[in-house]
Amino acid sequence: MTDAEKLPSHVGIIMDGNGRWARQKGLERSEGHKQGAEVFRDICTHAADIGIKYVTFYAFSTENWKRPQAEVSSIMDIFRTFLKEAEDRQQENEERGLRFRFIGDIGGIPEDIAVRVNALEERSSDKTKTTVNLAVNYGGRDEIVRAVRRIAEMVKKGEAEPSDIDGAMISGGLFTAGQPDADLIIRPSGEQRLSNFLIWQSAYAEFWYSDVLWPDFTKDDFDKALEAYAARSRRFGGI
């Protein structure tokens, strides 16, 4: 296993390849998402068990509403199942020190889900070992636009000068305010792009790609990404 001091503080994961996995098996795409949610659970507990402080999973983007209605509904049902399960497994999650945060435009998701999301955030808010961010109805540009609007309001009210605006102020207006920037972004399924995920927070992130489809992704794959990360030399623009 990777030496603790070389562990990334914040890992972002793009859970890609569910549809292809299902198609290869002659199944509906929704079956790929269901299996993807199982893998999410495994990687979530594994990340916590090895001491990753922040892990962000890209579950549904602001662009994913363009998918067929049946697929969108099946993903929303998977969220409902997960939220119900999180209630049933509260003790186990507490013992693991898991804090759940949802990042994204929660106002745009079905209300029954939003209510459960708020309750889960509230219930786990005092946990500090591992924060699991679930990006739902999330878009990196949308997140920056919101932060900029908030700052513009402050300037309008005379609470800040344009010259006060800096990177820290923008970071503080993001859904991930108070969390470290992403150190490592993992994308399986052979695609090598960021797709509007944590675009501000990943300015200096390392990227790790794999051809494995997300429903086949294992703890070993996650560990391989951590090993590759530990071997990289991060210079943040220096030498």
Q: Which residues bind ligand FPP (CB under 6 A)?
A: 15-20, 33, 36-37, 40, 57, 59-60, 64, 75, 78-79, 82, 134
Which residue lies nearer to ligand FPP by CB, 132 or 174?
Answer: 132
Residue 32, both tokens: 């790929």
CA distance 107 to 102: 12
Least distance (Å) between residue 157 CB and ligand FPP: 38
Least distance (Å) between residue 30 CB and ligand FPP: 10
CA distance 100 to 59: 14
Least distance (Å) between residue 14 CB and ligand FPP: 8
Residue 31, both tokens: 């079956």
Distance of CA 205 to the CA centre of its chain: 14
Which residue lies nearer to ligand FPP by CB, 147 or 182?
Answer: 182
To the query of whether residue 64 is one of the catalytic residues in this protein, the response is yes
Q: Which of 16, 18, 93, 183 is catalytic?
A: 16
Phi then psi for 211, rounded to 5 degrees? -85, -10
Could you give the 3-state DSSP secondary structure of residue 112? helix
Which residue lies nearer to ligand FPP by CB, 76 or 160?
Answer: 76
Residue 217, both tokens: 């992704």
To the query of whether residue 93 is one of the catalytic residues in this protein, the response is no
Which residues are the active-site residues? 16, 64
